């Protein structure tokens, strides 16, 4: 037991006289106050005199003996009515309220019983500790309906995972109209600011901030999947106190890849409430007698290190606890992807020629994108028919895969399993397999329909097809795409009261396929893609080695995309490609050097048409790919410091990645466009070990700026800073700090 935890346990034992004390989860038998303590935070809740479960604290760590409830903890009071307009039920702070007793803020759960009763009042029934998890059971005051809350703590990062399960112990069904994974509470305050991420196709990860007020802010997807619109992530800081580098930040993200809802606002007494879970829009789940409905996990953390500290802690948590293989995950290989080069025009000879060129510049994985299967010559046909197109690949994929492997690369393939074109053999055989309402029009998006994965036959068909594809071909990597939203989300064929389960069963079956495929093919890697970054969340990340953040491959826009993405998710999974200039998205012209410097701040890919490159381009690319491999571990799995954001008043931006062991740092300085013969201030590196001596060099070779010493301590670099005299538009440089002591 670590010292701090031991002190905590001892302190609480003294306080409670109990023996049932866990170092991280403190909820002794018979206690009415429960707390979770991890790195840099304390979370506490308690049962009041009327049996309500109340939130008590979430924030910076408290002392082990600090009074969470002043005086006698057994005296935690439920408030009484404030006025005729504010009955007791609406002013009692509740950790997970049922919709009842006049609740006017977001409920944890809203139900309708078979007799029409819509009043649900949840009170504490029992609790227990299971390892790192606190389990608290709540029960309705009259009906046999119970809600089980789970709190699992990751002591090292300060992140807790909360979820809820509702169980119908009655002999009649109960309809669940709304259910959150968790409700979080912050103390009364008028200076909270909500940070969130929004966007659209090719413009994902845009950062927004709004004040937290009684006007509820809802981050949601009604699309059936996570969507490009709002990511299921939030962070809350305090006005003028929280910055990138300092101040309190409460943050969280839902591990769910379907329609979701996170609401943030002040309740009737000014307390901040954050509720998140399944989206109640178009959702209902009729709980049969004896049935239980589980929610996804809502992860949440606290940091007093500003937005930067919060994201570093969350990245660290994701790398250890979410991403497949955790700390043992392989570094992302440098990949080549053919999409921007060839679109649907893929042939064995064309791809083989690209593979030869890719291998010459040090690419490690060659990925054939859309167009290799069925009658797929455009986006109008073929989706659903996952057999090799024999006109394009007369002898199947094997000759190309052999060629790719002989060139020293592994092979990856694009799939979009959840979709079907009406012009496909699969749809012709199973027109009833798509989401739709009988006798109603079916909206197509990109000429495709969504297969209803909630159906077990569809789930098993897709698993079988993918299993065969991966078993029969030496495929190391699948790029798993998903290119439209749901429209008419009908599920004919099940009783009406079960049809809206589609929002949950679909996603659960998607996870099942991914999990089972990975189990059967342990070396297979998967990239989550949805028209770029339309389905990135902690749910899909549990099954994905990497993600495609956006179809916008412009290197300047990409800096903003990366800045937004890393607020929430780890650079370890963030892929970026070097593509052609002018860029397809905005016709911006940039140098190959700039494109590489932008893309190599995460997982590096190349998506340019190598058939159009000159010798000089290959030489430039080979230089950068080799250089990238010397810093890849640091940028992918190190600690990220966003030193100068690409959004803002000046034209410069800078990020710094520092290896977990502090032995290497990489500072990227980018200049969007020169202004006024500018001479911007030096960037001060962060995260280096002040006591170590580092040798600084320019990534890819080149002279250091005048006056910059080759060797100096971490303290020196972090105090003095440095800047390259960048001139012109869309230029950049990376400095590498290698520890020599």
Which residues are known to be catalytic? Answer: 481, 551
What is the smallest separation between the CB atom of 31 and ligand DGJ, expressed in angstroms?
51
Q: Decide whether 551 or 563 has the Cβ nearer to ligand DGJ.
A: 551
- Tokens 């992860």 identify what position? 299
**Vertex 578: Cα angle to 572 and 584 (nearest 5):** 120
Q: Is 482 in the site for ligand DGJ (CB under 6 A)?
A: no
Nearest to ligand DGJ of 136, 346 (CB atom) = 346
CB of 96 to ligand DGJ, least distance (A): 38
Which among 135-143, 162-170, 526-534, 714-722 is the span making contact with ligand DGJ, rule CB under 6 A? 526-534
Nearer to ligand DGJ, 37 or 551 (CB): 551
Kindly state whether residue 267 participates in binding ligand DGJ, applying the rule CB under 6 A. no
- Least distance to ligand DGJ from the beta carbon of 605, Å? 10
How many Cβ atoms sit within 10 Å of the Cβ of residue 68?
A: 16
Among 140, 370, 527, 689, binds ligand DGJ (CB under 6 A): 370
Residues 6+ apart with CB under 8 A from 459: 453, 509, 512, 513
Residue 542 binds to ligand DGJ (criterion: CB under 6 A): no
Tokens standing for residue 177: 């109209």
Q: What angle do helix axes 555-568 and 592-599 make, rounded to 10 degrees?
A: 10
* Contact predicate 629/362, CB 8 Å: yes
| # of chain residues touching ligand DGJ (CB under 6 A) | 11
Q: Considering only residues 132, 204, 525, 551, which one is a binding residue for ligand DGJ as defined by CB under 6 A?
A: 551
Among residues 414, 480, 596, 737, which is the contact residue for ligand DGJ, using CB under 6 A?
414
386 scored as a contact of ligand DGJ (CB under 6 A): no
Q: What is the dihedral of CA 562, 565, 566, 572, to 10 degrees?
A: -80
The least CB distance from residue 531 to ligand DGJ, in Å, is 5
Can you tell me whether residue 462 is helix, strand or coil? helix
**Up-side HSE of residue 272: CA atoms within 13 Å toward CB?**
23
Residues whose CB falls within 8 Å of the CB of residue 209, separated by 6 or more in sequence, listed in order: 193, 194, 195, 196
**Dist CA 417 CA 479 (whole Å):** 10
Q: Least distance in Å: CB of 620 to ligand DGJ?
A: 24
577 binds ligand DGJ (CB under 6 A): no
> For 68, how many CA atoms within 13 A lie in the half-sphere containing its CB?
29
DSSP 119-176: ---EEEEEEEEETTEEEEEEEESSSSEEEEEEEEEETTTTEEEEEEEEEE-SSS-EEE
CB of 481 to ligand DGJ, least distance (A): 5
Question: Measured from the CB atom, is 370 or 738 closer to ligand DGJ?
Answer: 370
Residue 374, helix vs strand vs coil: coil
Q: Please tell me the distance from the alpha carbon of residue 225 to that of residue 416, in angstroms, as a whole number.
A: 14
DSSP assignment of 47-104 equals E-TTS-EEEEEEESPPPTT--SSSS-GGGPPPP---BTTB-HHHHS--SS-BS-TT--
Among 532, 564, 571, 687, binds ligand DGJ (CB under 6 A): 532
The correct pick among 154, 316, 364, 481 for binding ligand DGJ (CB under 6 A) is 481
- Separation of alpha carbons 298 and 646, rounded Å: 30
Q: Which of 548, 569, 628, 694 binds ligand DGJ (CB under 6 A)?
A: 548
Q: Which residue's C-beta sits nearest to ligand DGJ? A: 370
Q: Smallest gap, in angstroms, from Cβ of residue 533 to ligand DGJ?
A: 9
Residues 198 and 229: beta-carbon distance below 8 Å: yes
Among the listed ranges 107-115, 356-364, 529-537, 689-697, the one in contact with ligand DGJ (CB under 6 A) is 529-537
Residue nearer to ligand DGJ on the CB measure, 316 or 416: 416
CB of 308 to ligand DGJ, least distance (A): 29
Q: Which of 267, 369, 525, 644 binds ligand DGJ (CB under 6 A)?
A: 369
CB of 532 to ligand DGJ, least distance (A): 5
Query: DSSP 3-state assignment of 336?
Result: strand
> Can you tell me which of 529, 574, 667, 699 binds ligand DGJ, judged by CB under 6 A?
529
Pick the closer one to ligand DGJ by CB: 581 or 653: 581
Q: What is the DSSP string of 340-356?
A: HHHTT---HHHHHHHHH
**Distance in angstroms (rounded) separating the CA atoms of residues 172 and 601:** 56
Site for ligand DGJ in 655-684 (CB under 6 A): none
Name the one range near ligand DGJ by CB under 6 A: 127-135, 288-296, 347-355, 527-535: 527-535
Residue 531 found at the interface with ligand DGJ (CB under 6 A): yes
Q: How far is the CB of 343 from ligand DGJ (least distance, A)?
A: 8
CB closer to ligand DGJ, 571 vs 605? 605
Question: Near ligand DGJ by CB under 6 A, which window of 133-141, 211-219, 509-517, 528-536?
Answer: 528-536
User: Of 608 and 659, which has the nearer Cβ to ligand DGJ?
Assistant: 608
Shortest gap between Cβ of 337 and ligand DGJ (angstroms)?
7
Q: Distance between CA atoms of 590 and 581, rounded to whole angstroms?
A: 6
Which CB sits closer to ligand DGJ, 22 or 552? 552
Under the criterion CB under 6 A, does residue 477 sit at the interface with ligand DGJ?
A: no
User: Does residue 483 interact with ligand DGJ by CB under 6 A?
Assistant: yes
What burial class does residue 353 get, using C-beta atoms within 10 Å of its C-beta: 0-12 exposed, 13-18 middle, 19+ buried? middle
Residue 290 CB coordination number (10 Å): 10
Would you say 529 or 658 has its CB closer to ligand DGJ? 529
Q: Which of 41, 339, 393, 565 binds ligand DGJ (CB under 6 A)?
A: 339
Exposure string for 608-617, b = 16+ CB within 10 A, e = fewer:
bebeebeeee
Q: Does 547 engage in binding with ligand DGJ (CB under 6 A)? A: no
Residue 396 Ramachandran class (φ > 0 left, ψ -120 to 50 alpha, else beta): left
Judged by beta carbon, residue 346 or residue 538, the one nearer ligand DGJ is: 346
Residues that bind ligand DGJ (CB under 6 A): 339, 369-370, 414, 481, 483, 529, 531-532, 548, 551
């Amino acid at each position: 037991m670590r010292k701090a935890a031991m002190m905590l346990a001892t302190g609480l034992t003294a306080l409670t006289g109990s023996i049932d004390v866990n170092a991280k989860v403190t909820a002794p038998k018979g206690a009415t106050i429960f707390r979770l303590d991890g790195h840099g935070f304390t979370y506490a809740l308690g049962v009041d005199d009327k049996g309500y479960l109340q939130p008590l604290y979430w924030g910076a760590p408290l002392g082990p003996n600090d009074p969470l409830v002043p005086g006698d903890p057994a005296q935690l009071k439920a408030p009484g009515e404030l006025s005729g307009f504010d009955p007791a039920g609406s002013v009692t702070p509740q950790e997970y309220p049922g919709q009842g007793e006049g609740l006017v803020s977001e409920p944890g759960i809203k139900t309708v019983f078979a007799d029409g009763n819509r009043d649900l009042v949840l009170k504490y029934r029992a609790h227990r500790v299971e390892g790192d998890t606190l389990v608290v059971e709540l029960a309705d005051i009259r009906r046999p309906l119970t809600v089980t809350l789970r709190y699992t703590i990751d002591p090292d990062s300060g992140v807790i995972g909360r979820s809820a399960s509702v169980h119908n112990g009655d002999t009649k069904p109960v309809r669940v109209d709304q259910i959150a994974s968790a409700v979080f509470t912050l103390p009364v305050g008028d200076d909270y600011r909500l940070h969130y991420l929004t966007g659209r196709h090719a413009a994902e990860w845009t950062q927004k901030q709004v004040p937290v007020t009684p006007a509820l802010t809802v981050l949601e997807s009604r699309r059936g999947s996570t969507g490009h619109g709002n990511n299921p992530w939030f962070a809350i800081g305090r006005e003028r106190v929280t910055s990138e580098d300092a101040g309190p930040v409460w943050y969280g993200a839902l591990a769910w890849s379907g329609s979701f809802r996170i609401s943030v606002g002040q309740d009737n007494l000014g307390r901040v409430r954050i509720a998140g879970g399944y989206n109640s829009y178009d959702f209902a789940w009729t709980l049969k007698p004896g049935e239980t409905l589980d929610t996804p996990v809502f992860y949440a953390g606290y940091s007093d290190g500003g937005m930067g500290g919060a994201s570093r802690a969350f990245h660290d948590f994701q790398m250890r606890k979410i991403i497949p293989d955790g700390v043992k995950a392989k570094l992302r290989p440098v990949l080549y992807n053919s999409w921007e080069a060839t679109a649907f025009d893929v042939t064995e000879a064309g791809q083989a020629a690209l593979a030869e060129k890719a291998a010459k510049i040090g690419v490690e994985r060659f990925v054939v994108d859309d167009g290799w299967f069925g009658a797929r010559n455009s986006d109008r046909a073929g989706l659903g028919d996952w057999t090799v197109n024999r006109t394009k690949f007369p002898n199947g994929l094997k000759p190309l895969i052999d060629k790719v492997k002989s060139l020293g690369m592994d092979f990856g393939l694009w799939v979009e399993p959840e979709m079907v074109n009406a012009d496909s053999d699969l749809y012709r055989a199973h027109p009833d397999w798509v989401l739709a309402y009988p006798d109603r029009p079916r909206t197509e998006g990109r000429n495709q329909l969504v297969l209803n994965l909630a159906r077990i036959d569809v789930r098993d068909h897709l698993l079988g097809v993918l299993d065969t594809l991966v078993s029969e071909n030496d495929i190391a990597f699948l790029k798993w795409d998903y290119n439209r939203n749901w429209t008419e989300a009908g599920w004919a064929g099940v009783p009406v009261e079960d049809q809206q389960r589609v929002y949950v069963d679909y996603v659960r079956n998607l996870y099942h396929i991914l999990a089972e495929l990975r189990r059967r093919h342990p070396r297979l890697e998967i990239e989550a893609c949805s028209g770029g970054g339309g389905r990135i969340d902690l749910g899909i990340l549990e099954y994905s080695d990497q993600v495609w953040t956006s179809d916008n491959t412009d290197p300047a826009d990409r800096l903003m995309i990366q800045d937004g993405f890393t607020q929430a998710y780890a650079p370890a999974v963030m892929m970026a490609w070097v593509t052609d200039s002018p860029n397809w998205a905005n016709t911006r012209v940039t140098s190959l050097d700039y494109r590489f410097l932008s893309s190599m701040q995460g997982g590096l890919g190349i998506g340019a048409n190598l058939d159009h490159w000159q010798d000089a381009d290959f030489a430039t690319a080979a230089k950068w790919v080799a250089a990238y491999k010397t810093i890849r571990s640091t940028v992918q799995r190190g600690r990220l410091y966003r030193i100068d954001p690409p959004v803002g008043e000046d034209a410069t931006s800078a990020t710094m990645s520092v290896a977990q062991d502090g032995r290497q740092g990489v500072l990227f300085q980018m200049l969007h466009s020169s202004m006024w013969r500018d001479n911007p201030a030096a960037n001060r590196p962060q995260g280096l070990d002040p006591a170590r001596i580092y040798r600084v060099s320019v990534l890819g070779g080149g002279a250091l700026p005048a006056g910059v010493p080759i060797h100096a301590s971490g303290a020196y670099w972090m105090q003095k800073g440095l800047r390259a005299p960048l001139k012109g538009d869309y230029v950049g440089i990376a400095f590498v700090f290698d520890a020599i002591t």
